[in-house]
Amino acid sequence: MESASPSEPRTLFDKLWDSHIVVPESPEAPAMLYVDLHLVHEVTSPQAFAMLDERGLKVRAPHRTFATLDHSTPTTPRRKGERPVYVSPAARAQVERLEENCARHGIPLAGWGSFDRGIVHVMGPELGLTRPGMTIVCGDSHTSTHGAFGALAFGIGTTEVAHVLATQTVLQRKPKTMKVHVDGRLPYGVGAKDLILAIIAKLGAGGAAGHVIEYCGPAIEALSMEGRMTVCNMSIEAGARAGLIAPDEVTFAWLSGREYAPKGAAFEAARLKWKQLRSDKGAHFDREVRLDASRLAPMVTWGASPHMAAPVDATVPRPKTADDRKALAWMGFAPGETLLGEAVHTVFIGSCTNARLSDLREAAFIMAGRHVKPGVRMLVVPGSERVRKAAEAEGLDAIFRTAGAEWREPGCSMCIAMNGDSGRPGELVVSTSNRNFAGRQGPGVRTVLASPATAAAAAVAGAITDPRKMMEMCGAA
Amino acid sequence: MQREPITEIRSRSFALHEHNIDTDQIIPARFLTTTERGALADACFHDWRFDEAGRLNDHPLNAVGTATHAVLIAGDNFGCGSSREHAPWALRDFGVRAVITTRAGDIFKANAANNGLIVAEIDADAHAALLERTGEEVTVSLADMSVTSGNVRAGFSLEPFARTCLIEGHDALGFLLAREDAITRFEQARAA
């Protein structure tokens, strides 16, 4: 294994990689990497626990493991003390299996009734479980979200979940590195979601395969932690193994005071260490890509893959491939037409991409004093119990309810549509989630990915709309 | 734990020409509530193969003889999207033993290797030539790392550890557990 000598400039990724090697990689075998934090949810874990049982193995480090319920759980509002009603007996059994497995192995679980419960990638950062310099894995491809804190975080399969439960390590070949440098500043009305959709459109659905992306440059530094999480979250949609952003004062301010973050002198000591977590000057990246944020506009997708994205006011591009043609046929869009004014049936605000407090504020800013177009259904699903409580304390729930939207319980909901929350066949859904794959939000459901502002504007207009128009009206009022 | 060792898959092929076939297509999310293994054949490409009433439709996948056609030739970036290991589980349950593509999703590749599913990434020219021979017999060999069908022949590479595990029928957990001392040393060095 070739490892850079200490004097050689290293990337942030190199530093994270080097500090977690239990056994270095060889021609015969990948590296064994130590896992600092293993996040677990109900969908990708039952068979992994069964693999441990088959061999009579225990969980090696329950204290480095943290579980939540998010994917199969209903988000239907309940009265206090009322039991959740699942979409199917199988969904209930899956949740109960995780409850049993956690109890049996001593794994902390943010279950029903816990104020910590939330979408796994909203919960981790919010509790301060996610910290700079860590390695974090989860049986979930959007684990890349946690890279926003300068942690090496990636999704794994269920067999690998068993590996981590049993050994706290994961086998990995060292990936390549890619630098995505974003110059300039995002214009008014253009946010982190628009930025990452533009990056994915530029890279392609598999354009970053085999790479870990480090996002940097002034436009990235100017993002809030929530915005950084939105960017890193969708790294996988360009095929990347993980996304990273070097931690800075914005990161440290977010972490300060979080439940599991170090406190007092320990925090100051940690901060000094965290400050070293940046790519050295002159560090080598296998690929470099540049983008100018100031030229970006609100983005929407026109096809059935996240890379099929364009500015909301652009026309639908001419298909370049058979897949483009198939995607346009699926969406019912024609090349050369504008998507502005395209009728929308359902709007979903939520998911590990866009269900944090700032996302809900962004949507509420548009909704305040307006109403969801009659005939349109709008679901607002906070990312966690904490987000819900904070939003309710600010009165955001009242804004959404008054506008005619449904204010629901936290969970993955319509992003993955396995809990009963889904669109109906043929519907067009504008969604703040991360995947517009055919049928992802229900059989026959067509998805347009967008920012919270664009999604909210679509709910008001009942059609795809440039959210900047509604922001101007807010400003003028 | 010991699995069936695999040196070679020889079978007829079937093809899915689309690029970027994501794991939601391979198995829609609503089938992920299972806590078991081994019953996902119907879930495999479910929404491509069944109509809204749940009847098999006329998709070419339904004409594939799954007992005789175990090699899937798929478009670029196959298995992109979510990390669900249910995707290779469903493919195996459907009868697929090898996927030939120009490139597969990173997590999908790792999951496939852990489930005795060979993923052979070959160059675009050979891939196109192989597509011309859809339905013919193909041999995917781990012994000499080649895909052969008639006069079409292409090499592919596989992560060497995954290849060894497939050929010897080993799984990776045994390998990790055998290195427990190294894990303990790492943990102690850090705590110090």
**Tokens 């995002």 identify what position?**
A186
The whole-angstrom separation of Cα A303 and Cα A205 is: 12
Write the single-letter amino acid at B102: T
Nearest to B80 among A163, A239, A418 (CB): A239
State the pLDDT at residue A7: 75
- Per residue in A281-336, pLDDT tens? 999 999 999 999 999 999 999 999 999 999 999 999 999 999 999 999 999 999 99
- pLDDT of res. A247: 98
Per-residue pLDDT averaged across A11-22, rounded? 98
pLDDT in tens, A350-389: 999 999 999 999 999 999 999 999 999 999 999 999 999 9
> Is pLDDT above 80 for A4?
no
> A168's torsion region: left (phi>0), alpha (psi -120 to 50) or beta?
left
The per-residue DSSP string of A114-178 comes to -TT-B-HHHHHHHHT-S-TT-EEEESSGGGGGGGGGT-EEEE--HHHHHHHHHHSEEEEPPPEEE
pLDDT confidence of A271, banded at 50, 70, 90?
very high
| DSSP secondary structure string for all residues of A262-310 | --HHHHHHHHHHHTT-SPPTT---SEEEEEEGGG---EEE-SSSTT-EE
DSSP bridge partners of B99: B72, B119
User: Do B176 and A171 form a contact (C-beta atoms < 8 A)?
Assistant: yes
CB-CB neighbors (< 8 A) of A47 in chain B: 35-37, 85
Contact between B22 and A29 using a beta-carbon 8 Å cutoff: no
How many whole angstroms separate alpha carbon A50 and alpha carbon A44?
12
CA angle B156, B160, B165 (to 5 degrees): 110
Q: What sign has the CA pseudo-torsion B36, B42, B43, B44? A: positive
The CA distance from A41 to A30, in Å, is: 26
pLDDT tens string A19-60: 999 999 999 999 999 999 999 999 999 999 999 999 999 999
For the cut 70, the answer to whether the pLDDT of residue A473 exceeds it is no
Axis-axis angle for helices A158-167, A46-55 (nearest 10): 50
Q: pLDDT value at position A80? A: 85
Read off the pLDDT band of A472 (50, 70, 90).
confident
Select the residue of A54, A139, A171 nearest B172 (Cβ to Cβ): A171
pLDDT at A476 over 80: no
Query: Which spans in A332-477 are helix H?
Result: 357-367, 385-394, 396-402, 452-461, 467-476
Q: Find the residue in A nearest to B19 (Cα).
A: A323
Rounded to a whole number, what is the distance in Å from the CA of B182 to chain A's nearest CA? 6
Proportion of chain A above pLDDT 70, given as a percent: 98
For residue A182, the surrounding DSSP H or E stretch is strand A176-183
Model confidence over A70-91: pLDDT tens digits?
Answer: 999 999 999 888 999 999 999 9
Q: Is A305 in Cβ contact with B22 (below 8 Å)?
A: yes
Q: Which residues from A are below 8 Å from B81, CB to CB?
A: 141, 236, 435, 437
Q: Give the pLDDT confidence score for residue A475 in this predicted structure.
A: 46
Residue B149 Cα, gap to closest chain A Cα (Å): 26
In the Cβ-directed half-sphere of A209, how many Cα atoms lie within 13 Å?
19
What would the DSSP string read from start to end of A419-452?
SS----TT-EEEESSS---TTTTSTT-EEEE--H
Which pTM value belongs to this model?
0.97
Decide if B33 and A163 are in contact by the 8 Å CB cutoff: no
Q: In chain A, which residue's Cα lies nearest the Cα of B85?
A: A157
Query: What average pLDDT does the segment A122-129 reach?
Result: 98
> What secondary structure does DSSP assign to A9-33, as a single string?
---HHHHHHHTTEEE---SSS-EEE
List the single residue in B18, B29, B183 with the smallest CB-CB distance to A418.
B29
Ranges of chain B with pLDDT below 50:
none
Residue A5 clears pLDDT 90, i.e. is over it: no
State percent of chain A over pLDDT 90. 96
Are the CB atoms for B75 and B18 separated by under 8 Å? Answer: yes
**A with B: how many residue pairs have Cβ under 8 Å apart?**
173
pLDDT at residue number A6:
58
Q: Which residue of B has its CA nearest to A20?
A: B186
Average pLDDT, rounded, for chain A: 96
Q: Of A435, A432, A260, which Cα lies nearest the Cα of A362?
A: A432
User: pLDDT tens, A108-120?
Assistant: 999 999 999 999 9
Q: Which of A69, A156, A46 is nearest to A413 (CA)?
A: A69
Per-residue pLDDT reduced to its tens digit, A176-185: 999 999 999 9
Determine the 3-state secondary structure of A211 from DSSP.
strand
Residues of B in contact with A166 (CB under 8 A): 173, 176-177
Q: Please tell me which residue of chain B has the smallest CA distance to A237.
A: B81
pLDDT band at A1 (very low <50, low <70, confident <90, very high): very low
